[in-house]
Chain A
Amino acid sequence: QKEVEQNSGPLSVPEGAIASLNCTYSDRGSQSFFWYRQYSGKSPELIMFIYSNGDKEDGRFTAQLNKASQYVSLLIRDSQPSDSATYLCAVSNTDKLIFGTGTRLQVFP
Chain B
Amino acid sequence: EAQVTQNPRYLITVTGKKLTVTCSQNMNHEYMSWYRQDPGLGLRQIYYSMNVEVTDKGDVPEGYKVSRKEKRNFPLILESPSPNQTSLYFCASSLLGSPLHFGNGTRLTVT
Cα A41 to Cα B87 in complex, Å, equals 11
List residues of A whose CB falls within 8 A of some B CB.
8, 32, 34, 41-46, 49, 88, 90, 97, 99-102
Return the chain A residue nearest B33 by Cβ: A97
The reply to whether B100 and A88 form a contact with Cβ atoms under 8 Å apart is: no
Cα A41 to Cα B105 in complex, Å, equals 8
The reply to whether A88 and B102 form a contact with Cβ atoms under 8 Å apart is: no
**Which of A45, A49, A90, A101 makes the CB contact (< 8 A) with B41?**
A101
B56 to chain A, nearest CB (A): 9
List residues of B whose CB falls within 8 A of some A CB.
33, 35, 40-45, 88, 90, 97, 99-105, 107
Given the complex, which residues of B lie within 8 Å of A100, measured CB to CB? 42
Given the complex, which residues of A lie within 8 Å of B44, measured CB to CB? 99
The reply to whether A43 and B102 form a contact with Cβ atoms under 8 Å apart is: yes
Cα A43 to Cα B90 in complex, Å, equals 7
The reply to whether A42 and B105 form a contact with Cβ atoms under 8 Å apart is: yes
The reply to whether A34 and B102 form a contact with Cβ atoms under 8 Å apart is: no
B18 to chain A, nearest CB (A): 25
Q: A34-B100, A46-B101 are in contact. List 11 more A-B contacts (CB 8 A).
A: A8-B40, A32-B97, A34-B99, A43-B104, A44-B43, A49-B99, A88-B43, A90-B100, A97-B45, A99-B35, A101-B40
Cα A8 to Cα B42 in complex, Å, equals 10
Cα A97 to Cα B44 in complex, Å, equals 10
The reply to whether B42 and A88 form a contact with Cβ atoms under 8 Å apart is: yes
Return the chain B residue nearest A45 by Cβ: B102
Cα A102 to Cα B102 in complex, Å, equals 16
Cα A90 to Cα B101 in complex, Å, equals 13
A102 to chain B, nearest CB (A): 6
